[in-house]
Structure 1
Amino acid sequence: MNAPNEKAIPLERQREVVAALRRKLPEHCILFNEEDTRPYECDGLSAYRQLPMVVVLPQTEAEVIEILKTCRELNAPIVPRGAGTGLSGGAMPIADGVVLSTARFNRILKMDPYSRTAVVQPGVRNLAISDAAAKHGLYYAPDPSSQIACTIGGNVAENSGGVHCLKYGLTVHNVMRVRMVTIDGDVVELGGEALDAPGLDLLAVFIGSEGMLGVVTEVTVKLVPKPQLARVIMASFDDVVKGGDAVAEVIAAGIIPAGLEMMDKTSSRMVEPFVKAGYDTNAEAILLCESDGIPEEVEEEISRMSEVLKSSGATAIAVSQNEAERLRFWSGRKNAFPAAGRISPDYYCMDGTIPRKQLAHVLISITEMEKKHGLRCANVFHAGDGNLHPLILFDANTPGEFERAEAFGADILELCVEVGGTITGEHGVGIEKIGSMCVQFAPHELDAFRAVKRAFDTAFLLNPDKAIPTLNRCAENGKMRVTGGQMKFANLPRF
């Protein structure tokens, strides 16, 4: 059964593209029958789906080059895809386009414990890097909740983070070099193995570009020493305002925890029966605050954080006594998304970022939005850097509920912008937040984004219609006012 609004595959065009690709690739690298391509119809945002026209699974960089050159000649759009765990629809196919999967680029090419780096292909799983580095006492710091499945290429595309990004940074802070292929088939290396690279910092532009600038074939990542000790505080609060304020107080005290996460009552009640982490299900908010390093500094930091949390109104504090207990405390946060399926047929995960001082205000506002939209919302988030992940609970089988969930999510993102934040932290824009881009950015700013895209991809063939909205789309969404057919900055180049 086709998904709602799914476009039909243009069969004549499909035959033309497949025939051209067969001249360049082995037969087993090309998929075009529906039973083979249907698994690629969406990423983790399964509400939006589109059957691909063609899927290609190259095994070498030379094959990637040939695919891109062929698609450029045929003017065929290309959607790069990693593991498909993204949550913004960034890897959703295009009806008349080609999905380029990097799943077969799954080798760790070099592990250097002396320089503390690893050179990996884009299809290597995030957690696999840490597993391979463990024998050297090292690991790869960014740890999104999907790290067991997500790939480093997708992490580069979305600038992924995780529960430890407050102290160790996002993907952009942990990648030194990217080797990629442009739409014209040219191989370009961005960054390098030194502390800095000559010229413009295009590596930072490329990381988080959502597959719109090039296809990754190789990544050099930083590795960090595995801490001698890590302990986590689980603090309960009888009020979300106190919990939100406690987050700001911890940072204001000059403490940068290895992880600082928050869950509301709905979330803790959702996950506790699932993982039995030991959460207080009567608490309005739970904070998880982790410290890592040498034992002496961990003990000092745990003591300091405990004092701040007590003075902020924590009703209960528990500190992990061993590694098993630490992992148990974290298990609830790590399993929040799958646990949502226990209490709701469907959920819609949002991703916005706000200043830490606005946490309490935003959480209270989301509670009011629940009444407005008639839907429940479970809040789990990277509290230390203000990256929210509200889980809007709904039933797709009930007419109109998904549309209400979408409207709820758009309201949350608009609130994030209103309080000085942004519409995404680590999930990217994709197709999910493309309307909200019109809230966040002015027309001349969107033109600047398109100019960067044009510099890498003049034909706009790499992941088109994602992340950067056209001005027409903004006007149609009602997020931009057009008067008399005119708008400000009308002399600037248009997409």
Structure 2
Amino acid sequence: MSESELLIRQLTAAVGAGKVLTDPAVLSATSHDTWPVSTKWARQDQHPYRGDVVIRAGSEADVVAVLEVAEETGVPVTTRGLGSSVTGQPLPTRGGIVLDLSGLTGPHEVDEVDMTVTAPAGMNGGALEDALNQAGWTMRFSPQSLYRSSVGGWLATLATGQFSSRYGGVEDLVVGYRVVLAGGEVAELTASPRAAMGPDLRRVFLGSEGTLGVITRVTLKIVPLPAAQHLQTFLVPDVTTGLAIMREQAARGLRPSLLRLYDADEARHAMADPDFDGTVLFVGTEGEPEVAAAEMTVLTTMATERGATELGPEPVQAWLDRRFDFSTVEKRLDTPGGFAETIEVAHTWRHIEGLYAAIRKALEPLADEVLVHFSHVYPQGTSMYVILLGQVADDAAASARLAEIWATTMQIGLDHGAELSHHHGGGLARSPYSRRSLGAAHGVLRRLKHALDPDGLLNPGKLGL
């Protein structure tokens, strides 16, 4: 009996034959995510990272059983949620077992007193949000992939959402979770509502991309649906002015739910007007009616004093209505030789504009369109989101161009001391740059990896591990 046949027999005994999949079509489908580089590989029928077997886990017990088999056999395990990663996080670089958590679904539990919701890690985020809305609650956590991503995936990739300037990222949303460690031990990490018994261990697995453990169940904060919302679009003189407005509102302690600055090139898309000329700032406030109105009044004064002009709420509302639309990127990727990419970085207020100028200058020769917006605002700085659209001779050339775009952007980020990822995570795309990005801190990550996964079996090839 071959090693592969023995592995299949052990996994079948552990979780049942119906959850053990070896069909070539399934193996190919789970060897890709929505990273444009991976999408182009799939179009060329290339599968450089392909598992040997897929396990469709239906429970935490299945996850425990799979990790026990993995430890016994020395076979690597790459965890997969709903496959919405855009950086190659769930691609099995060493083959082995693909642990598919999309079957970890089922009832969620709402605690209206403690204002939390507990759900299985494989649950679709949009489905959970819709269910909460029907009961008058919301997570107010809204990544563009809301209806394509799992709640466990949010934690594993350290995701954030479009309302983060008020509600924060997933690190602010999470109350606790259950995680299965290499070898099958289950740990529950929580705080009720805050704990100081040593380090906050909940942070250890956030953003770890399945390299340290497998998250199976999550408890997240919820809030009542906002009683009021105010929206406004501002035409601002330029990016410099827009960034100054964003920084000032943060310094003054305002908490808008939405704050997005589009440079002139992306503004045409944001305004859905190819003839639009100018830089625009989308603003939203929400909550108690009097407070939301007062915050918008202050923000409007702040903006107009810097030369901004009000354009009305309609463009922001139109964007909110279409914000989950991926068609522009998907249509471009579906075209032979077409390419599209999204890369997000972050920096402090002092350095963000210099980073913007350098990235724009370097990327403009590599794409037909370079679109930039700034969002996810903090008192110390902001993220910068770059969208690239282009057309070359064929898919092979598109793959090469995407590789050049990634290498160029990451090097500029390193040169400027920027954060190489704000919320898409490392995956395969950024793994080669992890050590240089984290510096000596990468040694801490390696020690954690050795302590929690001494055989290096969990999602190898990510985060420079």
> One fold, TM greater than 0.5?
yes
Q: Is the 8 A contact 1:449 1:468 kept in 2?
A: no
Q: Is the 8 A contact 2:432 2:464 kept in 1?
A: no
**1:45, distance to aligned residue in structure 2 (A):** 0.8
Q: Which residue of 1 aligns with 2:44?
A: none
**1:468 & 1:144 partners in 2: Cα distance?**
25
Corresponding position: 1:339 with 2:328: yes
Q: Is the 8 A contact 1:43 1:91 kept in 2?
A: yes
CA distances 1:427-449 after superposition (whole Å, capped 9, x unpaired): 1111101122243233x432221
AA aligned to 2:328 is: A
Corresponding position: 1:36 with 2:29: no
**2:341 & 2:364 partners in 1: Cα distance?**
17
AA aligned to 2:445 is: F
**2:155 & 2:147 partners in 1: Cα distance?**
16
AA aligned to 2:301 is: E
Corresponding position: 1:467 with 2:463: yes
Q: Which residue of 2 aligns with 1:451?
A: 447
**1:418, distance to aligned residue in structure 2 (A):** 4.1
Q: Which residue of 1 aligns with 2:434?
A: 437
Q: Which residue of 1 aligns with 2:63?
A: 64
Q: Classify the secondary structure of the residue corresponding to 2:161.
A: coil
Q: Which residue of 2 aligns with 1:303?
A: 297
Q: Classify the secondary structure of the residue corresponding to 1:431.
A: helix
CA RMSD of aligned residues (A): 2.4
CA distances 1:47-103 after superposition (whole Å, capped 9, x unpaired): 235222111011122221111100111100001111110111110123531110111
Cα distance change of structure 1 residues 115 and 37 upon mapping to structure 2, 3 Å threshold: same
| Bigger mean CA offset, 95-104 vs 388-397 | 388-397
AA aligned to 1:102 is: L
**1:197 & 1:96 partners in 2: Cα distance?**
40
**1:364 & 1:86 partners in 2: Cα distance?**
27
Q: Which residue of 2 aligns with 1:47?
A: 37
What are the residue-to-residue correspondences of 1:229-244 with 2, within 5 Å? 229-244=228-243
Q: Classify the secondary structure of the residue corresponding to 1:354.
A: strand
**1:356, distance to aligned residue in structure 2 (A):** 3.3
Q: Which has the higher contact order (CA 8 A, sep 6+)?
A: 2
Q: Of the candidates 335, 339, 344, which is equivalent to residue 351 of structure 1?
A: 344
What are the residue-to-residue correspondences of 1:11-160 with 2, within 5 Å? 12-48=2-38, 49=47, 50-160=49-159
Cα distance change of structure 1 residues 108 and 166 upon mapping to structure 2, 3 Å threshold: farther
Q: Is the 8 A contact 1:241 1:361 kept in 2?
A: no
Q: Classify the secondary structure of the residue corresponding to 1:62.
A: helix
**1:241, distance to aligned residue in structure 2 (A):** 2.7
**2:194 & 2:342 partners in 1: Cα distance?**
36
Q: Is the 8 A contact 1:57 1:100 kept in 2?
A: yes
Q: Is the 8 A contact 1:263 1:285 kept in 2?
A: yes
Number of residue equivalences = 448
Q: Is the 8 A contact 1:164 1:259 kept in 2?
A: yes
Q: Is the 8 A contact 1:271 1:332 kept in 2?
A: no
**2:90 & 2:131 partners in 1: Cα distance?**
28
Q: Which residue of 2 aligns with 1:5?
A: none
- Could you tell me the TM-score, scaled by structure 2's length? 0.89
**2:218 & 2:245 partners in 1: Cα distance?**
38
AA aligned to 1:422 is: E
Q: Of the candidates 355, 359, 362, which is equivalent to residue 366 of structure 1?
A: 359
Q: Of the candidates 401, 406, 414, which is equivalent to residue 404 of structure 1?
A: 401
Corresponding position: 1:313 with 2:310: no
Q: Classify the secondary structure of the residue corresponding to 1:436.
A: helix
**1:257, distance to aligned residue in structure 2 (A):** 1.2
Q: Is the 8 A contact 2:55 2:100 kept in 1?
A: yes
Q: Classify the secondary structure of the residue corresponding to 2:377.
A: helix
| Bigger mean CA offset, 307-316 vs 27-36 | 307-316
**1:46 & 1:374 partners in 2: Cα distance?**
14
**1:316, distance to aligned residue in structure 2 (A):** 4.0
AA aligned to 1:226 is: L
Q: Which residue of 2 aligns with 1:204?
A: 203
**2:245 & 2:255 partners in 1: Cα distance?**
13
AA aligned to 1:38 is: S
- Structure 2 alignment gaps of length 5 or more: 39-46
Q: Is the 8 A contact 2:14 2:65 kept in 1?
A: yes
Q: Classify the secondary structure of the residue corresponding to 1:195.
A: coil
**1:347, distance to aligned residue in structure 2 (A):** 0.8
**1:189 & 1:224 partners in 2: Cα distance?**
23
AA aligned to 1:317 is: L
| Bigger mean CA offset, 407-416 vs 69-78 | 407-416
AA aligned to 1:73 is: E
Q: Classify the secondary structure of the residue corresponding to 2:328.
A: helix
Q: Which residue of 1 aligns with 2:390?
A: 394
AA aligned to 1:74 is: T
**1:333 & 1:362 partners in 2: Cα distance?**
26
- Structure 1 alignment gaps of length 5 or more: 1-10, 274-278, 470-495
Cα distance change of structure 1 residues 439 and 312 upon mapping to structure 2, 3 Å threshold: farther
Corresponding position: 1:428 with 2:425: yes
